[in-house]
Chains A and B, each alone.
Chain A
């Protein structure tokens, strides 16, 4: 499988805290990698650095051979880097459908001059975006919620909205930050099968999760992080079996 995301020597410190210490990591198209580690290991920070939300001190990031280093977050997203947030970060002032539309890949209406001068083009893009959003909602089992305010939707479905929103941009690489925390039942199964399907479509996926069963069932590979460093990489089984890692994980 070709390399999708390639991270080299990614480092970042906040004052005295090292959140990323020369991280090297490759994600391959169609593969699901589980990122494991105790709280504070730097997993979310790693996503922030890769998605361009936080500037690294050093290191490079490339997506499908294209250098993203130094690029703003919105440009990385347009080049196919999708992510979700541990704390959801949905748009409370928008309905579910409109939350998705913010992520639409082509949206000429976000330029004021285009909106005013080329209204026809904007109108067509709006219709296409809406069509795509409805498809994604269907795919994620959210079609019944399209016109609800996001705050009124059950928590598990809110998590799904976060994933659905990221799919609007047709990502080539998807970073999922604790998609299962607090999720059970139907939403759990939907997220699980959705991630599988996305990988089967050739998207590279990296998922941070504390739910061991979820990681073991889903991931082709696991990466163990601690104190901003990648300590081990291998099958999820082998990481779980490593006494040294479980001790770090549970902080004994």
Chain B
């Protein structure tokens, strides 16, 4: 049972991570590889606030998400102003730099990891409660992002991706929009981090390394970029497949490389055979049924 709970929680967290990453790179058109590091900032922020700062866990988790959000604004503001390409460069620096910092300072537990993180639930509580909480938050996150992308805001995101100059010349502020998209996406990654920390109660920097970016990208690409259900499907498939591999009884030394090959292979196969992913998003923006209905009255 414990094992199934663990899988369910990791899946739900991956759904939050993949959906928010899809929001940033798919809908926002913002090329970043730093998603895992904002996941880490939320996790470490929340864990340290609760463990060393005495903040109740229930408050520490949203606080961790806010710290990740604030950090993402600091990253996005200077780079997005210059041009979109600088965000990629900035995100590489942040991903490598912050992780290196976490490994090397004392108060994060260093490379050995952060231990003794307080749990959210009192000892003895059925872990199914935590599963329900994490799944509920994953569903809410997905619904929020879906709602945004189908609103006038989503329409504006679509126009901004189409043509940023024309967008600006119509009075729309592309820089503010990119910063907001990045902040919300990274804030949700931070939320997932806090939820991870107070269940597993141990954090190691290696969990948040650049390989995680590759895994998240795989979920989004394989599932279907710019669709609501694509990243969910991607997150589930990519959680189940590596687990299935462990049942193959391979020598332990082969497991890691096998998973790496699996991720890379999947991305390549999909790029060539089905670039739109399992669930293809249309090339034309569609609003909410209500808005479409409104439009229909003309």
Within 8 A of A (CB), among B143-175: 144, 148, 151-153, 155-156, 158-159, 161-163, 165-175
Residues of B contacting A73 in the complex (Cβ-Cβ under 8 angstroms): 165, 168-169
With an 8 A cutoff between CB atoms, is B200 at the interface? no
Flag if B151 contacts A93 (CB, 8 Å). Answer: no
With an 8 A cutoff between CB atoms, is B252 at the interface? no
Flag if B168 contacts A72 (CB, 8 Å). Answer: yes
Among A74, A102, A127, A146, which residue has the most Cβ atoms of chain B within 10 A? A102
Bound Cα distance A168, B162 (Å): 19
With an 8 A cutoff between CB atoms, is A85 at the interface? yes
Flag if A89 contacts B174 (CB, 8 Å). Answer: no
Flag if A105 contacts B171 (CB, 8 Å). Answer: yes
Chain B contact patch, size range: 35 or more
Flag if A92 contacts B169 (CB, 8 Å). Answer: no
Q: Interface digits, A214-232 against B, CB 8 Å rule (1 contact, 0 not)?
A: 0000000000000000000
Bound Cα distance A20, B171 (Å): 24
Residues of B contacting A83 in the complex (Cβ-Cβ under 8 angstroms): 169
Bound Cα distance A21, B256 (Å): 63
Question: Which of A52, A72, A94, A116 contacts B155, CB < 8 Å?
Answer: A94
Bound Cα distance A97, B296 (Å): 11
A112-B148, A115-B153 given; A94·B167 CB < 8 A: no
Flag if A89 contacts B171 (CB, 8 Å). Answer: no
With an 8 A cutoff between CB atoms, is B49 at the interface? no
Flag if A146 contacts B298 (CB, 8 Å). Answer: yes
Bound Cα distance A53, B165 (Å): 7
Question: Which of A90, A102, A129, A134 contacts B298, CB < 8 Å?
Answer: A134
Flag if B180 contacts A98 (CB, 8 Å). Answer: no
Bound Cα distance A91, B166 (Å): 8
B279 to chain A, nearest CB (A): 18
Q: A73-B168, A74-B170 are in contact. List 20 more A-B contacts (CB 8 A).
A: A73-B165, A74-B169, A91-B159, A91-B162, A92-B162, A92-B283, A93-B158, A93-B161, A93-B284, A102-B159, A102-B170, A102-B172, A111-B176, A111-B180, A115-B151, A115-B153, A116-B144, A147-B295, A165-B170, A169-B171
Chain B interface residues (CB < 8 Å from chain A)? 144, 148, 151-153, 155-156, 158-159, 161-163, 165-177, 180-181, 184, 283-285, 287, 291, 294-296, 298
Q: What would 21 A/B residue contacts be, using CB atoms closer than 8 Å?
A: A52-B168, A53-B168, A53-B169, A74-B172, A74-B173, A74-B174, A78-B171, A90-B166, A91-B163, A91-B167, A92-B283, A93-B159, A93-B162, A94-B284, A98-B155, A109-B151, A110-B153, A115-B148, A115-B153, A147-B298, A168-B170
List the 10 shortest-distance A-B pairs measured between CB atoms, nearest first.
A77-B171, A89-B166, A103-B170, A109-B152, A73-B168, A112-B180, A91-B162, A91-B159, A78-B171, A102-B159
